[in-house]
């Protein structure tokens, strides 16, 4: 009995690590469906090396097509995650967001697991850049005026 608990504690460590490594190995087997080369614009490298931390961090930068640094200046930004889209993802949106019960109703709603496709250097990105540049030009013109 005494030895059993010692074996059990060691076995927990071995089995947990074994399952984690097996999961990692399975995740890495097979041929990738696609490969993508990212620049530092999309995959930013942060060297946090300090006296107490020798780690580095890679951060995937992505842009919401309806998000701008100064949204009030951009006319009618396209809201891609609207009520219709939320409903199609399975969220119940029957209560009006402006009603007094909305807070309680939406706070109690379950989060859902969904997938988001990120577009790389596509039409949405080019439209965002165009809108952004136009907005910057407008801001500059206003500042000069």
Separation of CA 91 from chain center: 19
3-state DSSP assignment of residue 45: strand
How many CB atoms lie under 10 A from the CB of residue 138?
13
Point out which residues bind another protein (CB under 8 A): 2, 5-6, 8-10, 12-13, 15-17, 20-21, 23-24, 27-28, 49, 51-56, 104, 107-108, 110-113
Q: Give the position of tokens 């909305």.
A: 102
3-state DSSP assignment of residue 91: coil
> Residue 67 CB, nearest distance to another protein (Å)?
23
Nearer of residues 15 and 79 to another protein, judged by Cβ: 15
Nearer of residues 12 and 129 to another protein, judged by Cβ: 12
> Residue 117 CB, nearest distance to another protein (Å)?
18
The long-range contacts involving 112-119, CB below 8 angstroms and separated by at least 24 positions, are 114/89, 118/62
> Residue 40 CB, nearest distance to another protein (Å)?
19
Nearer of residues 20 and 79 to another protein, judged by Cβ: 20
């Amino acid at each position: 009995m005494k030895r059993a608990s010692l074996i059990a504690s060691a076995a927990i460590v071995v089995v947990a690590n074994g399952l984690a490594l097996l999961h990692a190995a399975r995740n890495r087997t097979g041929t990738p469906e696609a490969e993508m080369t990212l620049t530092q614009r999309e995959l930013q490298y942060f060297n946090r090396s300090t006296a107490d931390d020798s780690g580095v961090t890679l951060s995937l930068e992505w842009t919401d097509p309806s998000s701008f640094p100064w949204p009030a200046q951009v006319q009618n930004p396209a809201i891609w995650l609207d009520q219709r889209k939320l409903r199609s993802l399975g969220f119940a949106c029957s209560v009006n967001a402006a009603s007094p019960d909305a807070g309680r109703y939406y706070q109690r709603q379950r989060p859902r697991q969904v997938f988001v496709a990120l577009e790389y250097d596509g039409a949405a990105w080019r439209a965002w850049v165009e809108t952004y540049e136009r907005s910057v030009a407008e801001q500059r013109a206003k500042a000069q005026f």
